[in-house]
Amino acid sequence: MKNPQKAGVNHMSNNSLNKKRKDPMGALIVLAVLMAVLVAVCVIGGGWLKDYRADVLQEKRAAAQARNEEKQAEYDQAVDQYMDDLSQSNEVNVDWPQPAPTGWDIVDLTNYPLEAPGTVTVNRADVMNNGLLLVNEWHSRPEDFDDSGVVGVSGYARSMQIDSFWENSTCKLFPVAIDALAACLKDAEAVGLKNFVLQAGDTYRSYEDQYARFQKEVDRQRSNHPSYSDEKIIERAKRTVNYPGTSEYNTGLAFRLYLYEKDNAALNSADFYETAQGK
C-alpha cells in the first residue's frame, strides 16, 4: 500500500522543480522589459538633451548677434561724429601731439602735416625679396616666390668691399640680407667681436634643397622606426627638419652664424650661445 504522505511530498517536490524550471524564462522576460524601458528612456532623454543644447546654442547666438549689432552701432556713430568734425574744420595742426605722461596713446594724425611725403611704387616680388615675407610651419613660401635675385655672398661681398665672412662660394642670400649682416658684423668688430662665418647649407636653400634634406630625415626615421605609419614618420621628421617650403632658409633672408678661427679649437667647438659673440 502506498504511503499518502510520501506521495504528497513527491507531488510537491515535482511542483517546486517545475517552478524552478520556469523561473529562468521569467527572469529573461523581466530583463527584456527593463532593457526596453532603458532604451525608451535613452531615446526620450537623448531627444530632450539635443533640443536643450539647440536652445542654449540659439540663445548664445542671439546674444552674440545683439552684442555685435550694439558694437557696430557704436562704431558707426563714432565714425559719423568723426566725419562731421572733420568736415567742419579744415585747419591743420602746427604742433605735434604731446605724449601722455603715463599709459598708452592712440593719436589721430589725420590733420597733422607729414614730413617729406613721397610715393614709392613696388611690385609684390620687390616686397617679398626685401624682407616683408612670413614663412614658417603655418605659412608656406608663396608659389609666386622668385629667387632670381639671390646672389652668391662671396661675390657680392667682394664687389661691396665687405670683409670675408663666408665658408665658400655656395652661400647665397638676397642682397638686402647680406647688407644687413655686413652692417651688423661691422658694428660687432668695432667692439672686438669677430670670427663670424656663414656655412654652406645654412644660408639660402631652394625648395629642392629643402626637400632633399627632409627626405633624408624621413628615411632615417623610417630606418629607426620601421613599424611607424607614414604619417607618424613625417611628423617625427618635422621635429628636426622643416617641411619643404616652410623653412626660413627658403626665403633667402635667413642664415645661421657660426664661429671659426684657424688653430682655435676651443672657439671652433664651443656652443655659440656660450661665447662672447653669442651673448
3-state helix, strand, coil in the chain (%, to 5): 55, 5, 40
Residue 136 lies in a domain: no
Q: Residue 174: give its domain's CATH number.
A: 3.30.1380
- What pLDDT is attached to residue 7? 47
pLDDT of residue 22 exceeding 60, the answer is no
Question: Do 172 and 71 share a domain, yes or no?
Answer: no
152: DSSP letter:
E
95 lies in a domain?
Answer: no
At 139, the pLDDT band (50, 70, 90 cuts) reads: very high
**pLDDT band at residue 174, thresholds of 50, 70 and 90?**
very high
Question: What's the CA gap between 165 and 181, in Å, rounded?
Answer: 10
Model confidence over 196-246: pLDDT tens digits? 989 888 999 999 999 999 999 999 999 999 999 999 999 999 999 999 999
Contacts of 127 (CB under 8 A, 6+ apart): 133
Evaluate if residue 26 carries a pLDDT over 90.
no
137 located within any domain: no
Burial of 197 (0-12, 13-18, 19+ CB in 10 A): middle
Query: In this model, does residue 1 exceed pLDDT 50?
Result: no
Is the pLDDT reported for residue 44 higher than 80? Answer: no
pLDDT per position as a tens digit, 59-86: 888 888 888 898 888 888 888 887 777 6
Residue 101 lies in a domain: no
Q: Within this chain, do residues 60 and 164 fall inside the same structural domain, yes or no?
A: no
Q: Is residue 61 part of a domain?
A: yes
Cβ(165)–Cβ(277) under 8 Å? no
Residue 113 in domain: no
The answer to whether 186 and 157 have CB atoms below 8 angstroms apart is no
Whether 153 maps to a domain, the answer reads yes
Establish if 41 belongs to a structural domain: yes
* Residue range(s) defining the domain that contains residue 51: 24-75
Please say whether the beta carbons of 239 and 221 come within 8 A: no
User: What whole-number percentage of the chain has pLDDT above 90?
Assistant: 36
Q: Please report, rounded to a whole number, the percentage of residues in the chain having pLDDT higher than 70.
A: 84
- The residue out of 75, 98, 113 marking a domain boundary is 75
Determine the average pLDDT of the residues in 86-115: 70
